[in-house]
Amino acid sequence: MKPPPFLLAAALLLWGWQTGLLAFALLMAVVLEAARWIEWRVDFNVKDFNRVVDLASLLGVAGGIYCILTREATNQVMAMFQAASFTARSSAMNSVSQTTFIYFQWIPMILFPVVAALIYSTSEQYPRSCFFMLARRAAARAGLPQPLTPCINLSYPYLAVVLFSAGLANQRNEWFYFAVCAVMAAALWATRSRRFSTIVWIATLIIVVKAGYFGHRGLNQLQTIVENKVAAWVSSWVRRSGDRDTATTAIGKIGQLKLSGKIVMRVEAETGPVPMLLRDTTFNRFNSPHWGNSPRPADALVQVSDDGSSWTMLTKSPTNAVLLSSFSTRGQAVLAIPPGTSSLQNLPAAEVQTNRAGVVRTTGAPDFLHVRAMHGPGPTIGDRPVKVKNPDREVSPDLAVPPREQESVKRIADELALAGKPNYEIARTLTRFFADNFKYGSFLPNSLTQVPMGTTPLSFFLLKNRRGHCEYFATATVLLMRQAGIPARYVYGWSVQEGEKGTSRFIVRERHAHAWCVYWDEATHTWVDLDTTSPDWVANESQNASFWEPLTDRWSRAWFSFSQWRWYGGAGEWQNYLLLALLGLIALLAWRVLARQRRRNTGAADLDEEWLHRPGLDSEFYRVEALLDARGLGRRDGEALADWLARIEPLAKLPLTQLRQLLALHYRLRFDPQGLQQGEREALRGGVSDWLAQAKTTGSGHHA
């Protein structure tokens, strides 16, 4: 059954308005609705329908690939399996869901060739077998013809798909609900039962629409309540990875730190050595287990060069250059950079911000970043130690030791005689102290449950347990430096230690996340890195690598190479080439389908042309029909041949008895799959010739 006029057009325009594809929707609506006024049709056979369906399948695959590549869904799928935290896994799943929704919003465009081919064909239905390639192949292997029944009309299924895709845009406009109801009401009106009056039908429709409206509003409110409750519950124990205002350490927690082997960054030196530490954020206020900043740093815009890809943060001459490659999330990223970085190059972003905590944020950047960081000795991003207005009453945040930690920190500082020593001597003493007396362990034993009352986990680490991960070492080092009177801060970032096989690059995994101390050198006016964690901590963490890590590493390397070509090697224009190739392929397949057809006008069919398409249309019996039509005894519209002969027999002055035998042969030639034997075919041909010769000698017949 065909839908009412303009129903598909209205649904397509609604879909285009919701998804932002209004231009495509308008073009598709015009093409589909124009078929009501355009008379020509294409006589598709089942193989041509197969090609059209295969074309739509190809469009679906190409659209899926395009959607995945342009929205970084592949990285997010891998992140779902490799994420070390619930927050990271949830974020990856949300990104994959968004990509999936966008793909399904394109389904009306993907299926459009199938629907358009049906509307402009002489048939009104598709053989259902066209949509099952395996069934087609099974029939071909068995030597059987492709089943032509059952059939399906796609008009109303396509209408449902269009409305479904329009709803995936999730614009949350109330009018959208009523627009969908209007479209559905028009479809239902055309197929309504005549047993009920129009008033009853309209009243029932209004009740259903109102019930649906208040029902979906209630579900939305319930969803909001549930989401808020879940978010509040999750945020109480999950660290927000994108939050740089605070750092929640695992100090005091018992058990294995679950860090994945996912590769998050690649580092390659251009000039000078590869930096072993990349800073992300610095913190100066400790309130176990949290590190924060006091006062809270404010972001400032970084000045960009005329080319829009170079950003200057410090006015100094760098001596080294390093390439940092990573992925952003919807154009946003926090960059981990070497100490002393003065500028960033090859970074096409809308905006870059930094602050005194050393955080570098980008917005409006590509999904793949291949940044050149210019760095060297000297000043680095961040400010000098925080000064207080009244040193006699206040303590600078960069010198403060929390009261709960003062006893254990002072005891170790006195034991090492740190007071009065120069900075470099204190740094050397602390490095040797931790190396000789402490062990690294990402697995914290149950002895932490035996921490005495009034003793903090950090004090227990310093005085008793002496085993912990980098957050313990970094925090203890910062507080000991402060106890010695040296401003110090806690740094969160990454350690660069693992080389990538077969290349000169280094790779940074999620488990290479690291913490260390920086202290202020008054002589050079710079913050100096001090990492007292045992150097074998990376090897220790590598023992917990996943069995699948070599496989995921190969995929990550291939994806990195492709992304580098996609965004930088191809000047970011690869999508245009993909679209051009796809359009060319579509044009080629459309030409193959249409070149095999002969268009015919629905108002006047040419008999000679029809003979080239359907078996039996070359039957000589049509010559009999033409002769009788010329003598005023033509068939009526929709009248069968047998009924026609019976009707004109009293009117004609010609012998029609012989024609009944010839008509039986004609029907077999026309509709019998086996056709006629050679002798029967000759009998039809000779019989018609004899009758025509007899009719010419008999004279013309006419109406009574």
Give me the chain's average pLDDT, please: 79
CB atoms within 10 A of CB 634: 13
What is 551-570 written as a DSSP string?
Answer: HHHHHHHHHHHHHHIIIIIT
Percent of the chain with pLDDT over 70: 81
Beta strand residue intervals within 346-502, DSSP E: 351-354, 360-363, 368-375, 439-440, 443-444, 467-468, 488-495, 498-499
Using one digit for the tens of pLDDT, what is the confidence trace for 209-229?
A: 888 878 877 877 777 677 556
Using one digit for the tens of pLDDT, what is the confidence trace for 286-340?
A: 988 889 888 888 888 888 887 778 999 888 889 999 999 998 877 788 999 999 9
Q: What is the mean pLDDT of residues 476-496?
A: 94
At the topology level, CATH places domain 403-496+512-566 in: C8orf32 fold (3.10.620)
DSSP bridge partners of 490? 283, 517
Q: How far apart are CA 251 and CA 472, in angstroms?
A: 7
Strands of the sheet with 498-499, listed across from one edge: 303-304, 311-312, 341-345, 368-375, 320-327, 263-271, 506-509, 498-499
Helical H runs in 639-700? 641-648, 657-671, 678-698
Q: Which of 576, 484, 497 minimizes the C-alpha distance to 540?
A: 497
Give Cα 101 distance to the centre of its chain. Answer: 8
Using one digit for the tens of pLDDT, what is the confidence trace for 459-481?
A: 989 998 888 889 999 999 999 99
Using one digit for the tens of pLDDT, what is the confidence trace for 351-407?
A: 899 988 888 999 888 888 899 999 998 888 877 888 887 777 788 899 999 999 999
441: left (phi over 0), alpha (psi -120 to 50) or beta: beta
Three-class DSSP category at 312: strand
List of long-range contacts for 612-615, beta carbons under 8 Å, 24+ apart: 613/43, 615/669, 615/670, 615/675
What is 398-429 written as a DSSP string?
Answer: TT---HHHHHHHHHHHHHHT-TT--HHHHHHH
| Angle between helix 549-564 and helix 73-82 axes, rounded to 10 deg | 160
Structure tokens at 542: 């590598």
Q: Which of 483, 435, 475 minimizes the C-alpha distance to 457?
A: 475
Note the maximum CA span of the chain. Answer: 138
pLDDT of residue 169: 72
pLDDT of residue 229: 60
| Angle between helix 174-190 and helix 198-235 axes, rounded to 10 deg | 140
Percent of the chain with pLDDT over 90: 19
Instruction: Say yes or no to pLDDT of 30 above 70.
Output: yes
547: left (phi over 0), alpha (psi -120 to 50) or beta: alpha
Give Cα 133 distance to the centre of its chain. Answer: 27
> Could you tell me which residue, 463 or 563, shows the higher pLDDT?
463
pTM over the 0.85 mark: no
pLDDT of residue 90: 54
pLDDT of residue 435: 92
Q: How far apart are CA 602 and CA 34, in angstroms?
A: 15
pLDDT of residue 139: 78
The residue extents of the domains of the chain are: 7-191+573-593, 198-238, 247-375, 403-496+512-566, 607-698
- The model's confidence at residue 596, banded by pLDDT at 50, 70 and 90, is low
DSSP state of 464: I
Q: β-strands 488-495, 513-521: how paired? A: antiparallel
Using one digit for the tens of pLDDT, what is the confidence trace for 426-436?
A: 999 999 999 99
In sequence order, the 6+-apart residues with CB closer than 8 A to the CB of 131 are 53
Q: Are 677 and 685 in contact (CB under 8 A)?
A: no
Torsion of CA 576, 577, 580, 582, to 10 degrees: -110
ω into 452 cis (within 30 of 0): no
pLDDT of residue 83: 46
Please report where in the chains the tokens 């197969």 appear, as a residue: 50
Instruction: Say yes or no to pLDDT of 701 above 70.
Output: no
- The model's confidence at residue 702, banded by pLDDT at 50, 70 and 90, is very low
Instruction: Say yes or no to pLDDT of 79 above 70.
Output: no
Three-class DSSP category at 270: strand
